[in-house]
A and B are shown apart, each in its own frame.
Chain A
Amino acid sequence: MKGKSYQPAWLFLAGLLAIMFLLVSRAFQLTIIERSHFKLLSRKNIVRLVPQRAARGRIYDRFGQTLAYSQPTFSLTLIPTALTDQTALAAFLSAVLKIPAGQITPYLDPAAGPSFDTALKSGLTKEELISLEENRWRFPEIQIQTEAKRLYPNSFLAAHTLGYVGKITPEESAASQAKGLDLFDVVGKAGLELFYDNELRGQNGGQQIQVDAQGRPVKILEELASQPGDEIILTLDTELQKTAEQALGDNAGSVVALDPRNGEVLALVSHPAFDPNIFVEPLTADAWRRQHQGRFPFHNRTLNPYPPGSIFKIVTAAAALEKNIVNPATPFYCPGYLQLGNRKAKCWKPHGSINFLEAIYQSCDVTFYQIGLKLGIEALHDMGKKFGLGQKTGIDLPYDRTGLIADRAWKEKYWKQPWYPGDTINLAIGQGFLQATPLQTADLVAAVANQGKIYRPFLVKQIKNTAGQIMVQNEPRLIEQIDLAPATWRIIREGMTLAVQDPAGTAGAAKVAGLSVAGKTGSAEDPPRLKTHAWFSCFAPVEDPQIVVLVFVEQGGGGGAVAAPIAGQILRWWNENRRHQVKYK
């Protein structure tokens, strides 16, 4: 060994003595010097642990209207001790709370331990609160805790987007404990409440309180201030959202309204919806079941994939124009069907002699069948991908879906069959192995409005803490730049404008006086469903698009007949109330 040698045994011995000295002197400090302090705490018993739950952050719309907030409520917990006169306490509580005494006694079991303040009753009324407070001198076991109730002033409005909160389930509890949460904490379960739960939740604080024999607080031993959650400012426009929801009415479906210039989502509707306020109090199993009956109100239809139908013709048209297979004047003939092998692929109406531009705004399937065959599936697939299909939109909501745009490889992998021309023509008109969510479809049309630029759709503009500091500022993010010839965009745009304006166009119901609107209808078959889904997507004003509206009615019938008028209603309102009055930016 190098250097001066030493006897390790002496080092060990020194270490041992140091340890013993440290421990004994600390013990001396606790048991002799500070004895009276600890004796007091133990005899008077007890140190109460009172968590101060953080107030959940508010959610505002873009104009500062509150969409979700927290309100304090009071709940009763009991800290059982061996000193309890259980019968008297149970009788008293039973009288005040109107609960049978038998239900109360399990909460008084000392074996449950003081770390678990099991709430006997939440949401105490003022009278109950007063009675309990007045009698705390008699029963030191009574503990009043403040909790925060999450409220949504607009009830059903934007329910899926906002989401709801609930208590932590046993499955979530392991992960939650790591974040310092306990079984009484409330977390987001769906929508924005879930996606931004970490920011909204804040930080629980608490106090260790020394209480006297009457349970009255004597001294605060330790205190940790709770930190309220951050506030979230959304891009949503509540009045526009209301208008969209009213326009959709009782139809099952979805409406998406966004600003194509930056991706801000102005309205996001899914119907049928639910009232997030119902989750604030614990639901009985029955009530829960009842909520889930019928038309699946908890499905967020804006993020559900469906066949997009004729709206996809935008993609087919773009691919065809880019490959120079067609120009606006190219003639086609539609007898109402296309013969493919031994199958007649139908068109919704025999259009007769028709040129390409007319085929767009009159939505002729036969034309697009033929174009699709010429292009082939790979070209359609590639162009579809460029328009964002088959990929997540990146919106800040949970359960964003990718949808589907198939190609040869996909069909071989999942169906173990080769790709047939019949599949191509189906896809060319937006059916078959093709699925898009209403949000993706809105983005697709936004690309046309923007000459190829797709911005990430987002809901949250800004996150601020309660001191006013900006924690997160979301800027528009360009996620796709589709490089097509300016002529391509012009032609598609013209086709869509004529769809609304021309008497032969399919979307006349979306006409709005004083506003130039361009749109595309779709009526998508979705076997085995009997009726087609009604789609309509549009942007306005055409020269300088400021808003994109997409309407989807599940099994609604014809796009032009059902979806377009809804969009028209929304655009009319927007034109009168927003276009000139309000600068969104």
Chain B
Amino acid sequence: MVQPRQLRNLDLKILLPVISLITLGFLAIYSTTRNDPAGPMSYVGRQFFSLIIGLAGFFLFLFWDWSSLKKISRPFYLIMMVILAGLIALGELTGGVKRWLAWGPFSLQPAELGKLAVIFLFAEYFSSRPRLDRFLDLLPSLGLTIVPFILIFLQPDLGTATTLWAIWLGCLIWAKVDLTFIFCLISPVLSIVAWRWPLVGLVYTALLLLFLANRRWKWLDIAVVVGLNLATGTGFKIFWNFLKAYQKRRILSFLNPGLDPLGSGYHSLQSKIAIGSGGFFGKGIFQGTQTTYQFIPEQHTDFIFTVIGEELGFIGIALVIGLLGLILYRGIRLAAEAEDGWSSFVAAGCVCLIAFQMLVNIGMTMGIMPVVGIPLPFLSFGGSALVVNLCAIGFLENIALRRRKILF
């Protein structure tokens, strides 16, 4: 258990930014929902309720002795998989999109909890020092990622599902996996680009082959990687030709929202207008014209950053990015300093989680990322994400508490 004097070890450089961001979030939510028919207090109220639960989670993870937490990581993962699968089945039955389980006015997104379960499980897996010498040794952890990925992807929720891959990648790096492996994981995408010109594709494949052989990879592993590259590179061309025009357009405009003036392109254009017109100092709190008149869909959830930009300008943007960056920096340090392998991985996973969400969400509002449903940590309206993120922070502080500071 925690000794009172260890509370001095609480990392304020994490806590204070979190508190500031959450507060800012409340202001932003209020601002974006004040012309909503349901009234701002409906949203603020619900977010407050989620905050309470989040704080409970925070304290829980803060004081929980993590050796017992470690023990439940496997059952927790399994239970979450069952719930997610059940959600799909439920979705099939009701014939609708099923991302939330709802009781009355409150709803829970199991996918968010699922991310936490994955982090815990990975921590257990990677901290047990599994053999990761050859490329194919990555398969077990890949398998552990794919199952929740598919379950969440089918909900359908592409954004949240993709986050799992970021966590996986982060854990691999944290486990000091050979960086060539990381490159090879990304290589199929390069292959698709290379094979636009068959000659380039061939050269690329040949170079890849030589490179891996030179590093003395086992032949099976080389075959898998080169085969995968060939398959995606050539297969993609064929697959592309089979698509109908409207499907191609959807995919292209998904990747580049500017291409779709009617759908997501409109959305991201409005967001850019709002942010850009904020200028350096912003238009002032509650003065944002675009958000006041509800021009931005989802402006209280996925596009909350837009109102920050419009009302607080570049200053506000830099502030939010800076605060998040600070939290992440401290998180990395704590992960590196953590005395126990398992908690180190959990911390690294939490850092990945928050970083990925930040990158995609903010990038999306500024038109440099595809529009997917990923919330902005601590700021977006949405209970489940807030609770889970607070639990992660609680865990980080837990690690902080146990830092042995030499007190002289």
Binding site for B on A (CB under 8 A): 1-3, 5-9, 11-13, 15-16, 19-20, 22-24, 26-28, 30-32, 34-35, 37-39, 41-43, 45-47, 49, 51, 81-82, 110-111, 113-115, 179-180, 198, 203-204, 206-208, 221-224, 227
Contact = CB atoms under 8 A, between A and B. Distances in A.
A314 B41 CA distance: 79
Interface in B111-160: 132-133
A317 B113 CA distance: 72
B348 A221 contact: no
Contact of B37 (A12, A16, A23, A111): A111
Nearest to A177: B263
Given A1-B132, A39-B276, A27 B317 contact: yes
B355 A16 contact: yes
Nearest to A179: B246
B138 to A, nearest CB: 13
Contacts of A39: 276-277, 279
A31 B313 contact: yes
Contact of A37 (B173, B263, B276, B362): B276
B294 A111 contact: yes
Nearest to B293: A82
What's the dominant secondary structure at chain B's contact region?
helix
Contacts of B314: 27-28, 31-32
Of A2, A24, A31, A35, most buried by chain B (CB within 10 Å of CB) is A31
Rank and list the top 4 A-B pairs by shortest CB-CB distance, nearest first: A38-B276, A222-B261, A42-B277, A9-B336
Contacts of B295: 46, 114
Nearest to A34: B276
B358 A47 contact: no
B280 interface: yes
Contact of B266 (A15, A24, A49, A227): A49
Given A11-B173, A13-B329, A203-B246, A180 B263 contact: yes
B335 A9 contact: yes
B289 interface: yes
B176 interface: yes
B292 to A, nearest CB: 8
B178 interface: yes
29 contacts: A1-B132, A1-B133, A8-B348, A12-B348, A12-B351, A15-B355, A16-B329, A16-B355, A23-B321, A27-B309, A27-B314, A27-B317, A27-B318, A28-B314, A30-B276, A30-B366, A34-B276, A38-B277, A41-B273, A42-B273, A110-B294, A111-B35, A180-B249, A180-B263, A203-B245, A203-B246, A204-B262, A222-B269, A224-B261
B329 A23 contact: no
Nearest to A111: B37
Contact of A206 (B178, B262, B278): B262
B85 interface: no
B317 A24 contact: yes
Contacts of A49: 261-262, 266
Nearest to B275: A30
A47 B273 contact: yes
A111 B278 CA distance: 23
Interface of B: 35-37, 132-133, 170, 173-180, 244-246, 249-250, 258, 260-263, 265-266, 269-270, 272-280, 289-290, 292-295, 297, 309, 313-314, 317-318, 321-322, 325, 328-329, 332-333, 335-336, 348, 351, 355, 358-359, 362-363, 366, 368
A45 B173 contact: no
Nearest to B337: A9
Nearest to A82: B293
Given A31-B309, A39-B279, A206-B262, A13 B269 contact: no
Which residue, of A30, A51, A82, A110, has the highest number of chain B Cβ atoms within 10 A?
A30
A7 B333 CA distance: 12
| Among A6, A16, A39, residue most surrounded by chain B Cβ atoms (within 10 Å) | A16
Contact of B274 (A7, A34, A42): A42
Nearest to A80: B293
Q: Which of B262, B266, B292 has the most CB of A within 10 A?
A: B262
Of A9, A111, A227, the most chain B CB neighbours within 10 A belong to: A9
A227 B248 CA distance: 15
Given A49-B262, A203-B246, 5 more contacts: A2-B133, A5-B176, A9-B332, A41-B277, A208-B265
Contact of A208 (B244, B261, B318): B261
A180 B325 CA distance: 38
A207 B293 CA distance: 22
Given A26-B366, A39-B277, A19 B293 contact: no
Given A27-B275, A32-B280, A110-B294, A221 B178 contact: no
Nearest to B295: A114
Nearest to B361: A23
Interface-centre pick from A5, A47, A223 (highest chain B CB count, 10 A): A47
A24 B321 contact: yes
A179 B248 CA distance: 11
Nearest to A178: B250
Contacts of A207: 261
B170 A12 contact: yes
Contacts of A28: 314
Contacts of B260: 224
A494 B170 CA distance: 83
Nearest to A222: B261
A206 B176 contact: no
B129 to A, nearest CB: 9
B176 A8 contact: yes
A160 B317 CA distance: 61
Given A26-B368, A208-B266, A221-B269, A180 B317 contact: no
A19 B369 CA distance: 12
B368 to A, nearest CB: 6
Contact of B178 (A2, A19, A179): A2
B366 A16 contact: no
